[in-house]
Amino acid sequence: MKDNTLWIFGDSFSIEFWETNSWSQLLSKSFYSKLYSDIKPFPDELNGENVKYRDDYSDNPLYINYCQSSIDVHTIIDTFLANLYQIKENDFVVIVLPTISRVRIPIIDFFPPKTQTNKRIDDRYNRFLFEGESHLDYQRKETRDLIESPINLMDYNEYLKIIEGMLLFNSSDAELDSINKVLYSLKKSFNFGIYLMSWTDELDPTIVDTKDVLTEKIGFWETLANLYERGDDVPENYKDNFHWSERMDGAVANYIIKTHPKYFQELEF
């Protein structure tokens, strides 16, 4: 297993928010320790993309994280499938799934999700921005200039009606059933390890570890907003931030590590 890679595909819940203590970084440290425990220890300090998990000339980086804030379910799945030819037997894949309602908007220029890895590889992304949570302000000329024609020529009210309709379509029972079937097939089709989780309760909990499943397995669910509401000494912008707390990130990492011992070495953190 010395040439294997940890792959992560997801939205903002996959971004390394907590410096060295984000769940994705803790997984990469555990994955590294499992592979190299008999060779050399994990580096004492992480330093962004300068961490040298493997020799610079290796074609197999240890850790690749494709993530972007507000990315939609379909683009996450598409990005995973577009990189499938690179994923090897005994690699491990984590897919983090958001709400199914999000809409993707085609844009003119290549705009990939953020990639967190120590080595660039043959990236394959879809050209989309994302609508649904006020991240894309169509009324600004700078935004319209990014969007493909003739969509960018629409009247704002016309555009808004289409987006609202797409949000409803994406939230339909038929769409949910289709996504669940695709995810079920993904879990049954490959010879590498694959783990699916979501911070919502929309998807089938027998296929995906949803919010309720994670809460039950881990024993709690804690967000930045929870810290603010509890009166902890935290920044004001935690108030409506429903991303995981640092404690929750660590608990998620620990749960994945313990339930997949083939790929991870248990760590003290």
Give tens-digit pLDDT for 97-145: 999 988 888 877 655 555 555 444 334 445 565 554 445 567 777 777 7
Asked if residue 227 belongs to a domain, the reply is no
* Mean pLDDT, residues 192-213 taken together: 97
Asked if residue 231 belongs to a domain, the reply is no
Report the distance separating Cα 113 and Cα 123, nearest Å.
10
What's the Cα-to-Cα distance from 131 to each of 86, 223, 240, 261, rounded to whole Å? 30, 23, 19, 38
For residue 67, is pLDDT > 90? no
pLDDT at residue number 130: 58
For residue 230, is pLDDT > 50? yes
* Mean pLDDT, residues 226-241 taken together: 93
- Asked if omega into 150 is within 30° of 0 (cis), the reply is yes
For residue 167, is pLDDT > 90? no
For residue 68, what is the DSSP state? Answer: -
Name the pairing type of β-strands 63-67 and 6-10.
parallel
* Mean pLDDT, residues 3-30 taken together: 85
For residue 192, is pLDDT > 80? yes
pLDDT at residue number 129: 58
Q: Which residues contact 6 (CB under 8 A, 6 or more apart)?
A: 27, 28, 31, 62, 63, 64, 91, 92, 94, 263
Nearest to 208 by CA among 242, 184, 191, 230: 184
Nearest to 110 by CA among 125, 94, 122, 88: 125
Asked if residue 220 belongs to a domain, the reply is no
Mean pLDDT is highest, among 39-43, 47-51, 185-189, for 185-189
Asked if residue 224 belongs to a domain, the reply is no
Asked if residue 202 belongs to a domain, the reply is yes
Asked if residue 240 belongs to a domain, the reply is no
Q: How many domains does the chain have?
A: 1
* Mean pLDDT, residues 73-87 taken together: 90
Asked if residue 72 belongs to a domain, the reply is yes
* Mean pLDDT, residues 14-39 taken together: 75
pLDDT at residue number 51: 37
State whether residue 140 is helix, strand or coil. coil
Counted residue by residue, the chain has a size of 269
Q: What type of residue sits at position 52?
A: K
Asked if residue 104 belongs to a domain, the reply is yes
For the stretch 240-254, pLDDT in tens is 899 999 999 999 999
- Domain residues for the domain of 191 are 6-211+246-259
Look at the pTM and tell me if it is higher than 0.75.
yes
pLDDT at residue number 250: 94
pLDDT at residue number 124: 40
Binned at pLDDT 50, 70 and 90, residue 89 comes out as confident
For residue 237, what is the DSSP state? Answer: G
Listed range (12-16, 68-72, 85-89, 108-112) with the worst mean pLDDT: 108-112
* Mean pLDDT, residues 161-168 taken together: 87
